[in-house]
Amino acid sequence: MRVLITRPEREATTLATALAERGHAAVIAPLFRLAFLHPANDFAAALAACQAVLLTSANGARALAEASEQRSTPVFAVGDTTAATAEGLGFTAVTSASGDSAALGEMVRQRLDPQAGPLVHVSGVDVAGEIAPEGFEVRRFALYEAREAEALPDSARAALQARALDAATFFSPRAAQLFVRLVSEAGLADACRDVAAVAISPAAAEPLAALPFKSVVAAPRPTRQAVLDEIDHLPLPSVQGPETMSDAPSSPPPPPPVHVRRGLGFTGVFATGIVAAAIVLVAAVGSLPYWPEELRPLWRGLVVAMPAPPPAPPAPVLDTAALEAAKKELNARLDDLDKRVRAAATTAAQADRPPLHDPAIAELRGRVDALESKPAGTPPSPPPAAPAAPSPETDKDIAALKAEIAGLHTALQALGGSVDGIKAAANANGTANQKAVASARASAVIGVAARLGAAVEAGKPFAADLALLQPLIQDDAKLAELSAALLPAAQGGVASRATLAAEFPAMAKAALADDRADDSFGERLLGKVKGVVSLRRVGADVQGDSAEAKLARAEAALEGGDLAKAVELVKSLPPQTQRATSAWLGRAEAHLNAQRTVDQIAARAVSLLGAAR
């Protein structure tokens, strides 16, 4: 049958899946749009002081999870669907009344003590009635609002106009009243004559009397399962062929066939359940591409409050033009520093060489040596028989020569001092240039390390960035070793932290299923099923050494940015989970190793920079 669903989009999608499993086609036409509200200022204090939380709808469970991170407070849910939603959102102590508000109030009176503390009722803005068990203090907080559609949805309008509906579902008196009003305003009341209305309760069925439905049925119990059962009990739409004309009197219709029902027995019921579960799994897998975007994370195992948290910021993308400009600038700086080092080395080498031959200096040295080796007052020729008394002119020449010798000594000393000064200046200039080169090299290594770190975090290849490091290594064995360690992963990169976080829920489900399965066929089958559809607890406050508790804490650590702690917890899982965790662990450890190596390169660069200064 073709069934109209008027629930909000999230619940409508779930109900449509259940109808499809029963062979029905769903037409989704939400009459309400769900909006979460900011909790009151005293909500946190009331939640901390209460002994339990009352939930009267699945939307209340979602609103509670959105408003608070507390998951250990006992929760009493009105029905099984609300309880399952709360458990899926991580609440650890959930009890279902499997009925209506009256059943919930009765369960509270039987299981709780009024003296143990107040109760908190999480609801929408509009409620059918207050839950007030006798003797209990109940504080109601409206954490969500179902906002009405202003006009009949196009899907419902088109289906009614085409007379393409066989049944319509209504899960609250408010939804029934709104549908009656919108259909009447659209002038489509007469199109309801061939439609059977199925309401979750007599109160929800009462407003539907204003429209000419073929029939109006109220479920015996206010649950989604009861509504589905009532749809199954409706007569299937008949397909009539063209009428035939004949003059012969019509013969009476044959008596209806008698159908004999036989019980299936326990074995038949069990086999039927197994087959039905397999069909459900196949249908779920086959319809996954057509699921709404907000439901696809549930398949991967994300049990978070809806609406989903804002997406993580996108991974940084390297600008090719900026990268090329940075390369050119770095190469230019390296060339300039290289020229300065070569010039300083040349100057120092020239200063270390013996002074160049200067004819003037050589002549002066020769004259000084000749004068010093010649005794004063001794003529160049052999001495005469009788020495002649020195003339005044000779004394003057000797005094002039002595003065010239003293001046030459002074000039030689000054020249030696100039040469020493040149050598000292050359040495000082060379040391300064060496420090400048070392400082620039260390700064460049720090820049390359920053680029490598960004590439690792984004999960991008980093071969081009690693190539920038090669001319800076020189004779540094430590940098060479670190560069070689990064080389195997440079071309393809490593998995980003965001990718690892996205892959974690699927890995955790598979690991949990392997941990729960034993060697028997039934348990292995159960483990496979649980690996697809089971729920698991999440959060850093999940205690214990079970696989589920460790996976919950690992996921919380991963969301908090501590990948190393998450890897450590996953490694501590039982051996039977290695098949499910080995691939994820390999990618996570590759990311950690690359990040550690990049951090060591940066630390090495900082130490080089400190030594240069």
Average pLDDT of span 519-534: 51
pLDDT above 70 covers what percent of the chain?
Answer: 64
Amino acid at residue number 469: L
Residue 278 pLDDT: 72
| DSSP category for residue 27 | E
More confident of the two residues 322 and 7: 7
The per-residue pLDDT for 435 is 74
Name the nearest CA neighbour of 532 among 511, 508, 509, 549: 509
For residue 531, pLDDT over 60 is answered with no
pLDDT at 3: 94
593: pLDDT strictly greater than 70: yes
Distance CA(583)–CA(490), nearest Å, equals: 20
Give per-residue pLDDT as tens, 207-264: 999 999 999 999 998 888 889 999 999 988 754 433 333 333 444 444 444 444 444 5
Q: Return the higher-pLDDT residue of 113 and 521.
A: 113
Q: Which residue has the higher pLDDT, 503 or 258?
A: 503
Reference 172, options 227, 96, 98; nearest CA is 227
**Which has the higher per-residue pLDDT, 360 or 582?**
582
Structure tokens at 285: 């897998």
pLDDT computed for residue 257 by the predictor:
46
CA-CA distance, 187 to 164, in Å (whole number)? 17
Residues 6 or more apart from 416 whose CB is under 8 A from it?
A: none
45-54, 143-152, 300-309, 490-499, range with the lowest pLDDT: 300-309
Task: Evaluate if residue 144 carries a pLDDT over 80.
Answer: yes
CB 305 within 8 A of CB 62: yes
The answer to whether residue 53 scores a pLDDT higher than 90 is yes
pLDDT score at 223? 85
**Mean pLDDT of all residues in 300-306:** 46
Strands 138-148 and 94-96: unpaired
Residue 300 has pLDDT above 90, yes or no: no
Question: Any idea what the Cα angle at residue 611 is, between residues 606 and 613, rounded to 5°?
Answer: 100
From the number of C-beta atoms within 10 Å of its C-beta (0-12, 13-18, 19+), residue 312 rates as: exposed
Helix axes 521-533, 265-287, angle to 10 degrees: 40
What pLDDT was estimated at residue 224?
A: 85
Among 390-394, 576-580, 592-596, the least confident range: 390-394
Per-residue pLDDT tens digits for 443-480: 788 888 888 888 888 888 988 888 888 888 777 888 88
Confidence at residue 369, expressed as pLDDT on a 0 to 100 scale: 66
SS3 assignment for 59-113: HHHHHHHHHCCCCCCCEEECCHHHHHHHHHCCCCCEEECCCCHHHHHHHHHHHCC
Dihedral of alpha carbons 14, 19, 21, 27, sign: negative
Q: Which two tokens stand for residue 133?
A: 């068990």
CA distance linking residue 45 with residue 421, whole number of Å: 81
Chain centroid, CA 482 distance in Å: 28
Q: Which helix (H) or strand (E) holds 327?
A: helix 320-352
94-96 and 75-77 beta bridge pairing: parallel
Please answer whether residues 6 and 31 qualify as being in contact, where contact means their C-beta atoms are separated by less than 8 angstroms.
yes
- Mention every residue, 6+ apart, whose C-beta is less than 8 A from residue 347: 426, 429, 430
Global pTM? 0.36
- Per-residue model confidence (pLDDT) at position 5: 94
pLDDT score at 533: 46
Q: What is the mean pLDDT of the chain?
A: 76
Q: Which of 43-52, 130-139, 278-287, 571-580 has the highest mean pLDDT?
A: 43-52
Task: Give whole-number Cα distances, 306 to 35, 122, 124, in Å.
Answer: 10, 16, 15
In this predicted model, which residue has the larger pLDDT, 189 or 418?
189
> In the structure, what pLDDT confidence band is assigned to residue 423 with cuts at 50, 70 and 90?
low
Judge contact between 73 and 49, C-beta under 8 A: no
What's the chain's length in residues? 613
89, with CB counted inside 10 A (0-12, 13-18, 19+), is: buried
Query: Per mean pLDDT, which range of 149-153, 419-423, 533-537 is the poorest?
Result: 533-537
Question: Which tokens sit at 393?
Answer: 């002119």
Contact 472, 438 (CB under 8 A): no
Report how far apart, in Å, the C-alpha atoms of 71 and of each of 43, 93, 346, 366 are.
15, 8, 75, 104
Express each pLDDT in 533-591 by its tens digit.
Answer: 445 555 556 667 788 888 888 888 888 888 899 899 889 888 888 888 999 899 899 99
3-state DSSP assignment of residue 167: strand
pLDDT at 133 over 90: no
CB distance 431 to 576 below 8 Å: no
Q: Which of 172, 144, 175, 169 is nearest to 32 (CA)?
A: 175
What per-residue string of b and e applies to 39-49 under the rule 16 or more CB within 10 Å gives b?
A: beeebeebbee
Candidate ranges 328-342, 385-399, 551-565; pick with highest mean pLDDT? 551-565
